Each structure stands twice: as structure tokens, then as C-alpha cells.
Amino acid sequence: MYIKIMIGSLVGGALGLLYYKLVGCSNGSCPITAKPHRAAIYGAILGFMISSSF
């Protein structure tokens, strides 16, 4: 169970970085996607929540 949650968090973080690279926020006004570490943390939290619900 813990491995599934860890994998979900890592995949979520990677997807958060991918979202930052592809969509991102060019002028810095977006609070989540303005910086790559924020996007990765947000994605990891979402990945954790999704993977722990199954």
C-alpha cells in the first residue's frame, strides 16, 4: 500500500513539472504554476490523494 502511494506521489510530481513546462505561467501571476517546485509539490499532493483513495 505504501509503495502505491509513493509511486502516485512521484508520478503526480512529475506530471506537475510537465504541466509547468508545457502550460506554465509566463508572467508569474499564477500562484501554483509560476515556479517549478510549486507545480511539482501541487502535483505530488494530488497524486498522493488520488493514489490513497484506491
Tens digit of each residue's pLDDT, the chain (54 residues): 899 999 999 999 999 999 999 988 878 788 887 889 999 999 999 999 999 988
| Structural contact between residues 28 and 34, judged by C-beta atoms closer than 8 angstroms | yes
36: domain range?
A: 17-22+29-54
Q: Which whole-number Å values give the CA distances from 34 to 4, 40, 50, in the listed order?
A: 29, 11, 23
CA–CA separation, 22 and 16 (whole Å): 10
- 9 located within any domain: no
Full-prediction pTM beyond 0.95?
no
pLDDT tens by residue, 5-15: 999 999 999 99
- 37 located within any domain: yes
- 42 located within any domain: yes
| Structural contact between residues 43 and 16, judged by C-beta atoms closer than 8 angstroms | yes
Question: What pLDDT score does 27 carry?
Answer: 82
| Structural contact between residues 48 and 12, judged by C-beta atoms closer than 8 angstroms | yes
- 4 located within any domain: no
Displacement of CA 54 from its chain's centroid (Å): 18
Question: What pLDDT score does 32 carry?
Answer: 80
Q: What domain count does the chain have?
A: 1
